[in-house]
Amino acid sequence: MSAIKSSSPIWLTTLITAYAPMIWGTTYLTTTEFLPPDRPFLAGAVRSLPAGLALLLLVRRLPQGAWWWRSAVLGVLNIGVFFALLFVAAYRLPGGVAATLGAVQPLWVAVLAWLVLAEKPGLWRLGWGLAGVVGVALLVLKGELWLDPVGLMAGLVAMGSMGLGVVLTRHWGRPTSMLALTAWQLIAGGLLLMPLALWVEGLPPMLDARAVAGYLWLSIPGSIVAYWLWFRGINQLPVSAVSFLGLLSPVVATLLGWWVLGQALSAWQWLGFLLALAAMLAAQFQPKWGLGRFSPGRAGV
Tell me which residue of 261, 263, 257, 284 sits closest to 25, measured CA to CA. 257
Q: What pLDDT is recorded for position 251? A: 74
Q: What pLDDT is recorded for position 293? A: 39
Asked whether the predicted pLDDT for residue 2 surpasses 50, the reply is no
Instruction: Render pLDDT for 127-158 as a digit per residue (tens, 0 to 9).
Output: 888 887 787 777 665 555 667 888 888 888 98
The average pLDDT across 277-298 equals 59
Q: What pLDDT is recorded for position 292? A: 38
* Cα within 13 Å of Cα(32), Cβ side: 21
In this structure, the dihedral spanned by the alpha carbons of residues 225, 228, 231 and 234, taken in order and rounded to 10 degrees, is -70
Q: What pLDDT is recorded for position 257? A: 77
Q: How confident is the model at residue 99 (pLDDT cuts 50, 70, 90)?
A: low
- Greater model confidence, 148 or 290: 148
Lowest mean pLDDT across 7-11, 97-101, 120-124, 246-250 = 97-101
Q: What pLDDT is recorded for position 140? A: 60
> Which of 36-40, 70-74, 120-124, 139-143 holds the top average pLDDT?
70-74
In this structure, the dihedral spanned by the alpha carbons of residues 252, 254, 260 and 262, taken in order and rounded to 10 degrees, is -170
Q: Return the HEC string of the chain.
A: CCCCCCCCCHHHHHHHHHHHHHHHCCHHHHHHHHCCCCCHHHHHHHHHHHHHHHHHHHHCCCCCCCHHHHHHHHHHHHHHHHHHHHHHHHHHCCHHHHHHHHHHHHHHHHHHHHHHHCCCCCHHHHHHHHHHHHHHHHHHHCCCCCCCHHHHHHHHHHHHHHHHHHHHHHHHCCCCCHHHHHHHHHHHHHHHHHHHHHHHHCCCCCCCHHHHHHHHHHHHHHHHHHHHHHHHHHHHCCHHHHHHHCCHHHHHHHHHHHHCCCCCCCHHHHHHHHHHHHHHHHCCEEEECCCCEEEECCCCC
Q: How confident is the model at residue 290 (pLDDT cuts 50, 70, 90)?
A: very low
Rounded distance, CA 94 to CA 145, Å? 9
Q: What pLDDT is recorded for position 255? A: 78
The average pLDDT across 39-64 equals 92
Instruction: Render pLDDT for 220-274 as a digit per residue (tens, 0 to 9).
Output: 999 999 999 998 888 888 877 787 787 787 778 777 877 887 777 778 878 887 8
What phi and psi, each to the nearest 5 degrees, are found at residue 39? -130, 60
Rounded distance, CA 28 to CA 31, Å? 5
Q: What pLDDT is recorded for position 208? A: 92
Instruction: Render pLDDT for 17-33 as a digit per residue (tens, 0 to 9).
Output: 999 989 988 988 898 89
